């Protein structure tokens, strides 16, 4: 707890100091007298005076200020300071001083991201661990173990690089260069178009159906199949075949080919356990003897199939539950087209939004097929820090392996030079600024829920959690909040820097200041708005 509080203070202290330092340095450069530089509000904890400026740290760390001579219309200045007063400075100087705070908050993240990006770091490589059998990569001949080196001539070093390379590339053949057994070759893949949506924006991306993870061999068992008759159940994970350890699906395929007759499987099975009114699951290890199916390999050799299209969970009150879908059912077709992958289903649903569609599934109980017309519905959930999220969902989930069940992903050491790191930092900050602006616009128009707002408690939680995830995560959070601070302060709301900037522009154009009475009324309105915003953020913190 104390560590989290310390990180919270460091986070705010650095961001407030950077913001106020922008005002301070430009004010000094413009010849305006600075009386006090304060990190924090309220009673002074400690400080010192150097020259004509007092530097202090105050009790409340939720902000700071730079007190300049003559920054209030009613303030009387000594004769020697009259020309050094803030309001007596030319409008262009006042505009520079005011803009310097948000400007520093927006430039500081460039420095942060530079240090995050520069140097050597470990990242997930482009080595393919799993190929979705129903997706374009499988049709193009890409296999598990291939290493993708370029997309349409654009070199890719990490899996994230590869994902980014497919933004805007879909529904046409894309040359993909890969390395297989030490040799380079090029295949043509036609990615499926998917839309990744968030409260901020939507991105159209091509999906080819490869993953870096090596999936464990988890079976789906049709009712009445040889696997079911031998005692296998859907979502059993094969641990060994005839005593040979099976780490992933590729290993199951390789081992099943070697044997004939009865295969002795060791499987891990989740058994339901009731604890009061709650039903949980505990893992158990079971031995099952399965006759190998003639002429088949992999899952088919066991008389089973992959668990890909089997429903692991159905969310309460969802469209799927209302239609009668249950855990263990197998999805068969979507709008009359056979389904072999949840990725295909997710891609189709992302483009349909709330439009109706036809879904066919096979019941786990009697093996009968059912077809209904469904439509996605809005489901509200909370993330790890309690923020409510609303999104369109069908309301079912496939089997997803836990971290402990996955074999380690292949990694690569990425060395980023100074120039490349600075270029990436300069690119990423404007992108985040644009997202922030969209969020603020969404709050005003109602497209973004005010429940996403957060105050000190949320920032404390984020600081603690990001620090647990490592230095880069904490620095990323610092950059995001600094950008947020810069963008918010540019809003033309009294008390914020944006209104002071507007006042300077007004005077520069109209050749006279905004009337004092108008300024005072605007300050009252701005204070009310700011207090309402803070109250909403605090309320969200409490309800979280």
Q: Does domain 123-214 have CATH number 3.20.20.140?
A: no
104 burial class (0-12, 13-18, 19+ CB within 10 angstroms)? buried
pLDDT tens across 300-320, in order? 999 999 888 899 999 988 999
From the list 444, 502, 418, 540, the residue with the least C-alpha distance to 102 is 502
pLDDT tens across 153-194, in order? 999 999 999 999 999 999 999 999 999 878 999 999 999 998
Other CB atoms within 10 Å distance of the CB of residue 171: 11
Give the active site residue among 20, 249, 305, 507.
Answer: 20
> What is the C-alpha separation between 245 and 240, in angstroms, rounded?
4
Q: Is the fold of 219-304 the same as that of 311-387?
A: yes
Mean of the pLDDT values across residues 91-96? 91
Q: What are phi and psi of 423, to 5 degrees?
A: -60, -45
pLDDT of 216: 87
From the list 206, 210, 166, 195, the residue with the least C-alpha distance to 349 is 195
| Torsion region of 367: left, alpha or beta (phi above 0 gives left; psi -120 to 50 gives alpha) | left
20 is catalytic: yes
Of 480 and 537, more confident = 480
Q: Is it the case that residue 398 has pLDDT exceeding 80?
A: yes
In whole numbers, what is the pLDDT of the chain averaged over residues?
A: 84
pLDDT of 485: 87
Q: Residue 277's pLDDT band (boundaries 50, 70, 90)?
A: low
Q: Is it the case that residue 276 has pLDDT exceeding 60?
A: no
pLDDT of 238: 93
Q: What are phi and psi of 149, to 5 degrees?
A: -110, -20
Q: Residue 122's pLDDT band (boundaries 50, 70, 90)?
A: confident
Q: Which fold has domain 219-304?
A: Pdz3 Domain (2.30.42)
Sheet architecture: strand order including 174-180: 154-155, 147-151, 174-180, 183-189
pLDDT of 279: 59
Burial 13-26, CB ≥16 within 10 A → b, else e? ebbbbbbbbbbbeb
pLDDT of 198: 60
Lowest pLDDT segment from 236-245, 259-268, 281-290, 447-456: 447-456
Q: Please, are residues 30 and 500 in contact by the beta-carbon 8 Å criterion?
A: no
pLDDT of 155: 94
Q: Tokens 């074999």 map to which residue? A: 407
Task: Please tell me the pTM assigned to this model.
Answer: 0.67
Q: Residue 436's pLDDT band (boundaries 50, 70, 90)?
A: confident
CA within 13 Å, CB half, 255? 21
pLDDT of 195: 82
pLDDT of 388: 65
254 burial class (0-12, 13-18, 19+ CB within 10 angstroms)? middle
pLDDT tens across 56-76, in order? 999 887 788 999 988 877 777
Joined tokens for residue 374? 């469904």
pLDDT of 462: 61
Burial 198-224, CB ≥16 within 10 A → b, else e? ebbeeebbbbbbbbbbbbbbbbbbbee
**How many H-runs (helices) and E-runs (strands) does the chain carry?**
14, 26
Other CB atoms within 10 Å distance of the CB of residue 159: 24
Integer angstrom CA distances of residue 222 from 195, 219, 503: 33, 10, 72
Joined tokens for residue 424? 């990436």
Domain boundaries, the chain: 2-118+470-543, 123-214, 219-304, 311-387
Q: Please, are residues 105 and 485 in contact by the beta-carbon 8 Å criterion?
A: yes
Q: Which fold has domain 311-387?
A: Pdz3 Domain (2.30.42)
Q: Is it the case that residue 324 has pLDDT exceeding 70?
A: yes
Mean of the pLDDT values across residues 133-143? 87
């Amino acid at each position: 707890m104390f560590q989290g509080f310390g990180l919270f203070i460091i986070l705010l202290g650095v961001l407030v100091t950077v913001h106020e330092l922008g005002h301070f340095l430009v004010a000094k450069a413009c010849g305006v007298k600075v009386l006090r530089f304060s990190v924090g509000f309220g009673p002074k904890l400690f400080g010192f005076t150097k020259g004509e400026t007092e530097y202090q740290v105050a009790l409340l760390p939720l902000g700071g200020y730079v007190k300049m001579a003559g920054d209030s219309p009613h303030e009387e200045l000594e004769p020697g300071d009259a020309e050094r007063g803030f309001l007596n400075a030319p409008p262009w100087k006042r505009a520079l001083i005011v803009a310097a705070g948000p400007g520093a908050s927006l430039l500081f993240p460039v420095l942060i991201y530079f240090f995050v990006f520069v140097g050597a770091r470990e990242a997930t490589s482009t080595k393919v661990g799993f190929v979705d059998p129903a997706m374009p990569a499988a049709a193009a001949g890409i296999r598990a173990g291939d290493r993708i080196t370029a997309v349409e001539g654009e070199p890719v070093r990490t899996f994230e690089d590869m994902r980014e390379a497919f933004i805007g590339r879909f529904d046409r053949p894309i040359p993909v260069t890969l390395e297989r057994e030490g040799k380079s070759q090029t295949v043509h893949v036609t990615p499926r178009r998917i839309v990744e949506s968030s409260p901020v924006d939507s991105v159209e991306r091509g999906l080819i159906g490869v993953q870096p993870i090596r999936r464990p061999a988890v079976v789906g068992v049709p009712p009445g199949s040889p696997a079911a008759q031998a005692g296998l159940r859907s979502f059993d994970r094969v641990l060994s075949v005839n005593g040979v350890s099976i780490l992933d699906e590729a290993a199951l395929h390789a081992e099943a080919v070697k044997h004939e007759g009865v295969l002795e499987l060791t499987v891990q099975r989740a058994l339901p356990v009731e604890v009061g009114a709650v039903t949980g699951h505990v893992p158990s290890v079971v031995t099952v003897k399965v006759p190998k199916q003639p002429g088949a390999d992999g899952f088919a050799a066991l008389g089973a199939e992959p668990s890909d299209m089997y429903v692991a969970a159905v969310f309460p009150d969802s469209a799927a539950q209302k239609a009668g879908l249950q855990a263990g059912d197998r999805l068969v077709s979507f709008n009359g087209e056979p389904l072999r992958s949840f990725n295909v289903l997710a891609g189709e649903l992302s483009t349909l939004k709330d439009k109706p569609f036809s879904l066919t599934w096979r019941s786990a109980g009697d093996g009968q097929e059912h077809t209904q017309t469904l439509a996605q519905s809005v489901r509200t959930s909370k993330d790890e820090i309690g923020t409510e999220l609303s999104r369109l969902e069908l309301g079912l989930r496939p089997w997803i392996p836990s971290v402990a069940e996955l074999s380690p992903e292949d990694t690569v050491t990425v060395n980023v030079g100074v120039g490349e790191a600075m270029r990436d930092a300069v690119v990423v900050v404007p992108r985040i600024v644009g997202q922030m602006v969209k969020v603020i616009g969404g709050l005003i128009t109602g497209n973004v829920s005010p429940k996403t707002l957060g105050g000190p408690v949320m920032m404390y939680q984020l600081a603690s959690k990001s620090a647990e995830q490592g230095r880069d995560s904490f620095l990323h959070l610092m950059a995001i909040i600094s950008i947020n601070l810069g963008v918010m302060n540019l809003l033309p709301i009294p008390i914020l820097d944006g209104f002071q900037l507007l006042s300077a522009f007004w005077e520069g154009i109209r050749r006279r200041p905004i009337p004092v009475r108008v300024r005072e009324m605007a300050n009252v309105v701005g204070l009310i708005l700011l207090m309402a915003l803070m109250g909403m953020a605090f309320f969200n913190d409490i309800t979280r």
